[in-house]
C-alpha cells in the first residue's frame, strides 16, 4: 500500500467513525461481524501528541483555533492560521453545527421587503450552515428599519439583547432601495450576526492608515474626536481572538477608506458583496452538513498509545 | 430642569429649534459639528447606542456611532450641523439653528 492509498484508507476510516458515532453506535471496535453490525470507536491520541495535534488541526481548519486558545502550552502553535480571508471573533462564534436563526421585524414591514431582506441574510448559506428563517413570534434576530444607522450585534451576543430591542438596524431600507445596497449592507450586517468583525480593523489594514490624516479627515467630515477615530478605524483587532486569515480589503466585512488617509495613498477599497474568499471561510467555520450527520457531543474516548519512536509528522501540504 | 430631547430624524425639524439652557439634545446621527455659538452649545461627542444584555454586561453592536449629543449651556444663538448616513459610503449633512433661552 503506497502513501496515497494509506492516507485514503485512513480518511475512509475516519468518515466511518464519524458516521457510526452519529448513528449512536458506540461499541468497542470489533473486526468480527458476530453479534451484528460492525461499529468503530473513535480513539484519542496519547497526551504527548496533544499539542502537535492542535497545531495540525488549526492548520487544517481555522475553526479549530478557538477551542485550543485556552491551552497555554500550545502557545504559538494555536496562532498558526492558514492564509485566507475575513475573521470571526472566537467569543461570538455560533459553533460548527448547522442552525437556523429565527428573524422578526420590530415595525410593521411589508411582506416583500421582509422576504427580500431575509433572502440577502441567507446569501451566506451558499457555503455556510447557518440560515435565517422568518418567525411570526419574536425572533432571535430582530430587525428594525428605523433610524439608528446600520449595525448588528456580533454573533452570539444577539442572544443577550433584550427582546424589545433590535439586534440589527437597517435604517431606511425599503423596496426602493437599490439591490446593490441590499448586497452591500444587509449581507455585511448578516456577517456581523455570524460573528465577523470589521475587516478594515485587521492589523495589516490599520497599519496602512496615516494616523494624523485619519484624525483630520474624520474631524472634518464627521466631527469625531481622536478617541472615536481610534475606536472606529485605528485600533486593530487582537488577532489572537480571531479565527482568521490575512486581511482582505475586498471582503464584504471591510469598509471603504479613502486614499487620502493611507500612508501609500491607495484606498482601502472595501467590499460591496460577499466574495469568494468570504464564502470559503464561512463554509469552513460554519460547515453545511446533511441532516442526521451532525456529530453528537463528544464523550470520553478510549486512549491508544505506541512507542514514541513511531510518531510521525503530519503532511500539511495541499495535494 | 434640563430636558433630554431625542431627535430621531432631521426631517420635519423647523429651521430654528427653540431649546433651553440645560437641555441635552440627542440626534440619531454618526457625527456633528458646532458651526457657530460654541460658547452656547457643547458637542459632547458621538456615541454608539448600547444595551445592558441579559449577561448584565454592556453590549455594543458593530457599526459607526449612531448618536450625537449636545449640551445647551448658555442663552443665545448657535448653529450646528448633523451628519447622517454611512461614514464610509456617503453622508448627508444638515444644518440646524438653535435659539437658546433660559428655561421658564
**Is B102 touching A (CB cutoff 8 A)?**
no
Residue A78's pLDDT is what? 34
Task: Give the gap in angstroms from C-alpha A174 to the nearest C-alpha of chain B.
Answer: 15
Q: How many CB atoms lie within 10 A of CB B19?
A: 22
Residue A1's pLDDT is what? 56
Closest CB to A160 among B28, B53, B87: B53
Which segment of A6-20, A301-315, B55-69 scores lowest on mean pLDDT? Answer: A6-20
Percent of chain B with pLDDT over 90: 77
Is the pLDDT at A18 greater than 80, yes or no? no
Give the position of cell 481622536: A226
Is the pLDDT at A123 greater than 60, yes or no? yes
Residues of chain B with Cβ-Cβ distance to A148 below 8 Å are 28, 49, 66
A180, with CB counted inside 10 A (0-12, 13-18, 19+), is exposed
CB A31 within 8 Å of CB A43: no
Mean pLDDT within A52-80: 46
Residues of chain B with Cβ-Cβ distance to A232 below 8 Å are 64-65, 87
Threshold 0.90, pTM exceeds: no
Residue A202's pLDDT is what? 73
Asked if B30's CB is within 8 angstroms of A149's CB, the reply is: yes
Percent of chain A with pLDDT over 70: 64
**Is A223 touching B (CB cutoff 8 A)?**
yes
**Is B70 touching A (CB cutoff 8 A)?**
no
Q: What is the pLDDT of residues B3-43, one digit of tens each?
A: 999 999 998 999 899 999 999 999 999 999 999 999 999 99
Is the pLDDT at A297 greater than 50, yes or no? no
Residue A236's pLDDT is what? 82
**Is A44 touching B (CB cutoff 8 A)?**
no
If pLDDT is split at 50, 70 and 90, which confidence band does A12 have? low
Is the pLDDT at A46 greater than 80, yes or no? no
Which segment of A188-192, A200-204, A261-265, B89-93 scores lowest on mean pLDDT? Answer: A200-204
Q: What is the DSSP string of chain A?
A: --HHHHHHHHHHHHHHHHHHHHTT------SS-TTSS------BPPGGGHHHHHHHHHHH-GGGHHHHTT-TTTGGGGG---S-S-EEEGGG---SS-EEEEEEESS---HHHHHHHHHHHGGGGGTBSEEEEE-SS--SEEEE-SSS-EEE--GGGGGGS-TTS-SEEETT--TTS-HHHIIIIIHHHHHHHTT---GGGSHHHHTTB-HHHHHHHHHHHH---HHHHIIIIIPPP-GGGEEE-S--TTSTTPPPB-GGGBTTS--B---SS--HHHHHHHHHHSB---TT-PPPPPPP--B----GGG------S--
Mean pLDDT within A134-142: 97
B102, with CB counted inside 10 A (0-12, 13-18, 19+), is exposed
Residue A317's pLDDT is what? 53
Is the pLDDT at A273 greater than 90, yes or no? yes
A187 vs A16, residue with greater confidence: A187
Strand order across the B90-101 sheet: B16-20, B90-101, B76-86, B31-36
Q: Which of A222, A228, A249 to mutate: most B Cβ within 10 Å?
A: A222
Asked if A161's CB is within 8 angstroms of B51's CB, the reply is: yes
Q: What is the pLDDT of residues A222-256, one digit of tens each?
A: 999 999 999 999 988 777 767 777 778 899 998 88
Task: Give the contacts of A138 (CB within 8 A, at least 6 positions apart).
Answer: A104, A163
Residues of chain B with Cβ-Cβ distance to A225 below 8 Å are 45-46
Residue A38's pLDDT is what? 54
- Report how many Cβ contacts below 8 Å link chain A to chain B: 94
Amino acid at each position: 500500500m503506497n502513501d496515497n492509498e494509506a492516507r485514503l484508507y485512513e480518511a475512509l476510516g475516519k468518515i466511518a467513525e464519524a458516521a457510526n458515532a452519529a448513528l449512536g453506535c458506540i461499541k468497542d471496535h470489533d473486526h468480527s461481524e458476530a453479534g451484528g453490525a460492525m461499529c468503530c470507536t473513535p480513539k484519542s491520541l496519547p497526551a504527548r501528541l496533544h499539542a502537535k495535534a492542535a497545531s495540525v488541526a488549526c492548520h487544517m481548519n481555522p475553526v479549530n483555533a478557538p477551542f485550543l486558545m485556552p491551552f497555554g502550552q500550545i502557545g504559538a502553535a494555536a496562532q498558526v492560521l492558514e492564509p485566507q480571508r475575513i475573521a470571526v471573533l472566537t467569543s461570538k462564534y455560533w459553533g460548527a453545527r448547522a442552525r437556523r436563526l429565527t428573524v422578526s421585524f420590530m415595525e410593521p414591514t411589508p411582506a416583500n421587503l421582509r422576504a427580500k431582506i431575509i433572502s440577502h441574510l441567507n446569501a451566506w448559506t451558499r457555503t455556510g450552515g447557518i440560515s435565517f428563517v422568518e418567525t411570526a413570534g419574536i425572533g432571535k434576530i430582530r430587525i428594525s428599519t428605523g433610524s439608528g444607522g446600520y449595525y448588528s450585534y456580533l454573533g452570539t451576543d444577539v442572544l443577550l439583547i433584550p427582546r424589545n430591542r433590535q439586534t440589527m438596524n437597517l435604517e431606511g431600507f425599503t423596496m426602493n432601495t437599490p439591490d446593490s445596497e441590499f448586497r452591500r449592507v444587509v449581507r455585511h450586517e448578516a456577517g456581523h450576526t455570524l460573528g465577523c468583525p470589521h475587516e478594515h480593523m485587521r492589523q495589516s489594514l490599520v497599519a496602512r492608515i496615516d494616523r494624523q490624516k485619519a484624525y483630520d479627515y474624520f474631524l472634518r467630515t464627521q466631527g469625531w474626536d481622536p478617541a472615536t477615530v481610534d475606536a472606529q478605524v485605528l485600533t486593530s483587532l487582537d488577532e489572537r481572538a480571531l479565527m482568521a486569515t490575512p486581511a482582505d480589503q475586498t471582503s464584504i466585512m471591510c469598509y471603504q477608506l479613502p486614499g487620502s488617509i493611507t500612508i501609500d495613498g491607495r484606498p482601502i477599497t472595501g467590499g460591496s458583496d460577499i466574495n469568494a474568499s468570504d464564502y470559503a471561510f464561512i463554509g469552513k467555520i460554519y460547515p453545511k452538513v446533511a441532516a442526521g450527520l451532525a456529530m453528537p457531543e463528544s464523550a470520553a474516548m478510549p486512549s491508544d498509545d505506541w512507542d514514541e519512536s513511531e510518531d510521525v509528522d503530519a503532511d500539511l501540504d495541499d495535494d | 430642569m434640563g430636558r433630554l430631547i431625542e431627535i430621531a430624524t432631521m426631517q420635519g425639524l423647523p429651521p430654528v429649534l427653540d431649546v433651553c439652557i440645560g437641555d441635552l439634545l440627542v440626534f440619531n446621527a454618526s457625527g456633528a459639528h458646532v458651526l457657530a455659538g460654541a460658547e452656547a452649545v457643547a458637542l459632547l461627542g458621538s456615541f454608539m447606542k448600547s444595551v445592558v444584555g441579559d449577561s448584565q454586561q454592556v453590549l455594543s453592536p458593530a457599526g459607526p456611532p449612531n448618536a450625537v449629543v449636545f449640551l445647551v449651556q448658555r442663552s443665545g444663538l448657535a448653529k450646528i450641523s448633523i451628519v447622517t448616513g454611512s461614514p464610509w459610503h456617503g453622508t448627508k449633512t444638515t444644518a440646524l439653528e438653535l435659539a437658546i433661552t433660559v428655561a421658564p
